[in-house]
Amino acid sequence: MEYESIKRIYHNYSNFYDYLFKFVFLPRQRHAISSLEIRPDDKILDVGVGTGLSLPFYPSHCQVTGIDLSKSMLKKAHEKKEKHSLHHVSLMEMDACNLEFEDNTFDHVVATFVVSVVPDPVKAVREMKRVCKPGRPITLVNHFKSRSKYIAFGEHVLDRFCS
């Protein structure tokens, strides 16, 4: 999918995204975040933060940076940030394939339901690896199998190790 198509799709989804996907995605997001060993003052990058459904699950003793390509989705995330007084969260419009952070910036990188929708998933994961501190976890949660037989095979192999 190309960037403009992605932006258009998520602009259209932004007003009903939470209602549509809350029951499907939220339990997996909650589980992924609760499985992290987040230490005080850890820096976390949430790639594809979307409407911010997952933001309340992050503990307040860490610093969360949420990024998304869609301004409309980020607007909803900003509303949740204010509603829940999430002062430890900052939100930015950014492309997952071109992260605007220094190398080794984050203690955790989380990407839920992103890898299958970015134009270049390999580049996105490389960028996540680049900005994550060495030896620290990158948590990927996906919601469907890629149409690319090579990526689908990789997902199948990873799924066997991560399940």
Q: Give the CATH number for residue 136.
A: 3.40.50.150
Whole-angstrom distance, CA of residue 127 vs CA of residue 100: 9
CA distances from 49 to 64, 65, 77, 110, 153 (A): 10, 9, 8, 9, 26
Give pLDDT tens digits for 93-117: 999 999 999 999 999 999 988 887 8
pTM: 0.81
Q: How many structural domains is the chain composed of?
A: 1
- pLDDT, the chain, mean: 85
Give pLDDT tens digits for 64-78: 999 999 899 899 999
Q: Which domain holds residue 67?
A: 3-162
